[in-house]
Chains A and B, each alone.
Chain A
Amino acid sequence: MSMQKELWKGNEAIAEAAIRAGCQAYFGYPITPQNEIPEYMSRRMPQAGGVFVQAESEIAAINMVYGASAVGVRAMTSSSSPGISLKQEGISYLVGANLPAVIVNMMRGGPGLGTIQPGQADYFQATRSPGHGDGHMIVLAPASIQEAVDLMWDAFALADQYLTPVMVLADGMIGQMMEPISWKRDQPLPEVDKPWAADGRDGDGKTHFVTSLRLKSADNERFVQDLAQRYRQIQENEVRYEATDCENAEIIIAAFGTTARIASTAVRQLRADGVKAGLFRPITVWPYPDQALRQLVLQDSVKAVLTVEMNLGQMHEDVRLAVRGDKPTPFYGRTGGMVPEPRDIARAAQEALQEVSE
């Protein structure tokens, strides 16, 4: 284990972290701003004894992940927003077949082709129900390259533990910038027993059939209820967030990923100007840390909670669900690939406070 700092580009660091965490197969398709992930994987994965395939489409890539996972091998794919839309079908099948997998989304501004600049407008797609059906995936939202690297271990571990796809939801900013990081976790995850894997019959001749088809609706309902039970466990045990300066704050800014990082500068500026501002940053955006946020917001000192995102107000819904109308919940967002400035966020916070004092 080396705590020495190394300078890494986000996409390459994430790819290297996946390999170090124990990922054995990567399947992907080019799309900006995540191209360094397949490029890096193409040369490093074979060196590490793993598999790299450049698929013919994002659809094929997620289905290759499905195949590798169905026979018990840790596998991942990556893409950016338009490509993630194409993977929705495959993610739904992963959910329906109880298969672990990791999907990295380096979000860009949408809709449609949009732009290659950073965005956060895939929040609904990631956190509500991926693809069709009644499923969820665990969604981890790093705010730095270091955190993205560390979360790759958690992503594969959570996928194996809960037999679910896990999405690492970052954006073009994290993919494209370079930062010093240290390899805090250098050991691959332990092998996990996968008795369900279709990797050959058991000794007693028992076969495995990995499928998401349950033709009898009562069987299918039972399956979805089992999923719901697992989701409740995830909600109880896997919620992660970071609250900075929220104690006795008069305004809490809620933001995730890159936007939270920018908002932390705004909080410092506000504090310097005498405004008691705090930052609430969910690390899991599904499951959402709604109880933690609610408790902080219900402090007498808090006059408002300002949601800031690079979209038109998607996480804003989760914030409002947590606050349930007990405090004002204004919103400030830039979208379409535009990144907010700290001073814009600080101004939005000042305006929000002014509005509630009027």
Chain B
Amino acid sequence: MSTQVVYQRSRGLQDVETHYCPGCHHGVIHKLIAEVLVEMDLLDSAVGVSPVGCAVLAGNYFNCDFVEAAHGRAPAVATGIKRVKPEMLVFTYQGDGDLASIGAAEIVHAAMRGERFTTIFINNAIYGMTGGQMAPTTLVGQKSTTTQAGRDPLQHGQPIRMAEMLSTLDGMAYCERVCVADMGNLHRAKRAIKKAFTLQQQGVGHTFVEFLSTCPTNWGMSPVDAGKWVLSDMAKVYPLGVVKDVPKEEKA
């Protein structure tokens, strides 16, 4: 009986087990980025910048170079890299606590300067690695270990929409919000990564892909329910789709 390979690990990933929880979307998102790096033949010339958060070990999983940044500082680290190595494909991979809270200044100013790297922003509405505290992206009413009765807008404010906020900046060239909760969205997400990397190579400005992602462990949901919640609840607060596409607008 002959065997036919219909699916295998991407060459863009190392042959190791990740530490991610069952049902967490980090693994799928890693795979999409890895596939794009392979398809664009970038494994030798790409460098990722990992955050502080669950993806802190991403450099052990990807089959390209990585630099681990201090909490929130990935956009500054990526700026330093891209400015001295403009020929490299540079991307950051940051969670919501990292990017929207402690690193808010760094991402705003990298986008303002139109830094020619790509931000992959993983929004799962919670602090995963530290055990489920409120993030700036936590939904109103959502329970976390620091909002045990649910997020109260009067006390904790309301969710911050980074994609929309950053798109007001002229340095932002391309900004899209995606998810991988079903097959249609997964394919759209991969196209968004590819478009962002392509536009980065064209030097048009900052490129930003926000993923609505899951945290079944800290949400207290099954992996299946967590995926459904992304579409039913998160996507209402954080609408999926292209937020800004300057090259396309200029062409039109």
Contact = CB atoms under 8 A, between A and B. Distances in A.
A280 interface: no
A201 B43 contact: yes
Nearest to B44: A201
Given A59-B76, A66-B67, 6 more contacts: A60-B105, A68-B83, A69-B80, A93-B70, A200-B45, A200-B88
Contacts of A199: 47, 65, 85, 88
The 4 lowest CB-CB distance pairs between A and B, nearest first, are: A67-B80, A64-B80, A211-B68, A63-B76
A89 interface: yes
Contact of A68 (B44, B46, B84): B84
B230 interface: no
Q: DSSP class of A's interface residues: helix, strand, loop or mixed?
A: mixed
B56 interface: yes
Contacts of B83: 25, 51, 53, 64, 68
Interface residues of B, number: 37
Contact of A209 (B45, B66, B70, B108): B66
Given A199-B85, A213-B57, A68 B80 contact: yes
B81 interface: yes
Given A63-B76, A67-B49, A209 B65 contact: yes
Nearest to B75: A60
Chain A CB count within 10 A is highest, among B14, B46, B63, B64, for B64
A66 B57 CA distance: 18
Q: DSSP class of B's interface residues: helix, strand, loop or mixed?
A: mixed
A227 B130 CA distance: 29
Interface residues of A, number: 38
A198 B69 contact: no
A162 B64 CA distance: 26
A25 B70 CA distance: 20
B56 A198 contact: no
A210 B84 contact: no
Interface string B26-50: 0000000000000000011111011
Interface of A: 24-25, 27, 51, 53, 55-57, 59-61, 63-71, 73, 75, 89-90, 93, 97, 198-201, 205, 207-213
Chain B CB count within 10 A is highest, among A59, A66, A73, A198, for A198
A63 B81 contact: no
B77 interface: yes
B111 to A, nearest CB: 11
B79 A67 contact: yes
